[in-house]
Amino acid sequence: MPDNRTSAIPEPREPVVDEAVAAEAADLISVARAVADESRSYLSTVTEVAAGSTPDATIPLLLLAVSDMLAAGARLGAMQDIVPPERFEPDVGPDPDVDPLHTALANVLDGLDEYPEIVDPVLGLEVGTATLSGDLVAIAGALAQGLRHFEAGQVLEALWWWQFSYLSVWGERASSVLRVLQLMLAHLRLDVEDDVAAEAEYDALQA
């Protein structure tokens, strides 16, 4: 006699995927990869400049590196707060030693390094002193820490660190550095003697 009873073993089913959650996860991974790429590029450029291998292009290279990093940071700042599942930051070893980089950058930027700035224009007009080398290294240290989390597979932790440090440290420092670098470049290009400027204008009109 045939057994018409249904099997107690359920048929396998495809897991139900929340499309909104999947899309959010994919977007976070995309942002993390973009910030990681920009972080590597920034660290590479700053290291190259510190080595003194491109003295004629120091200011333009730093201007490009900081501008690109700020663009990536702006996206982090505009996002909602990123909250990793772990309460404490995973250990990725000792902090990177950035002192040699700081010393090398200070040597390369000797005579241009120090600049005055308004400490917090939102809260008042207190004027302080900063250095390009110190700011560039502060940015590098924060980016490197996030990059270590990313390369260890801790994507949310990396994003949390990059976002937090952008809002608390490197976003502000990068903004200050960018303005100083842009002004330096403007002075280098535009501050010329009147007779030189007149001659260049005449040549341009005759061309």
Q: What is the CATH number of the domain that holds 128?
A: 1.20.120.1550
Q: Which domain holds residue 114?
A: 23-83+96-206
Task: Give dist(CA 84, CA 185) in Å, integer.
Answer: 41
- Tell me what percent of the residues of the chain surpass a pLDDT of 70: 80
Residue 180 pLDDT greater than 90, yes or no: yes
Inform me whether the pLDDT recorded for 129 exceeds 80: yes
In the chain, how many domains are there?
A: 1
Residue 48 belongs to a domain: yes
pLDDT band at 19 (very low <50, low <70, confident <90, very high): low
pLDDT band at 73 (very low <50, low <70, confident <90, very high): very high
- 2 is a domain residue: no
Tell me if 10 is assigned to some domain.
no
Q: Is residue 13 part of a domain?
A: no
The mean pLDDT of 111-122, rounded to a whole number, is 89
- What letter does residue 117 receive in the DSSP assignment? E
Higher pLDDT, 23 or 75: 75
Average of per-residue pLDDT across 65-80:
94
Q: What is the pLDDT of residue 3?
A: 53
Distance of CA 110 to the CA centre of its chain: 24
Cα–Cα distance for residue pair 15/37, rounded to 1 Å: 33
| 136 part of a folded domain | yes
- In this predicted structure, the answer to whether residue 89 has a pLDDT above a threshold of 80 is no
Q: Please check whether residue 49 lies inside any domain of the structure.
A: yes
CA 47 to chain CA centroid, Å, is 14
Q: Are 105 and 45 a contacting pair, CB within 8 Å? A: no
- 141-159 mean pLDDT: 93
Categorize the per-residue pLDDT at 36 as very low, low, confident or very high, splitting at 50, 70 and 90.
Answer: very high
* Amino acid found at 82: I
**Alpha helices for the chain (secondary structure H):** 19-50, 58-78, 99-108, 132-151, 155-165, 171-190, 194-206
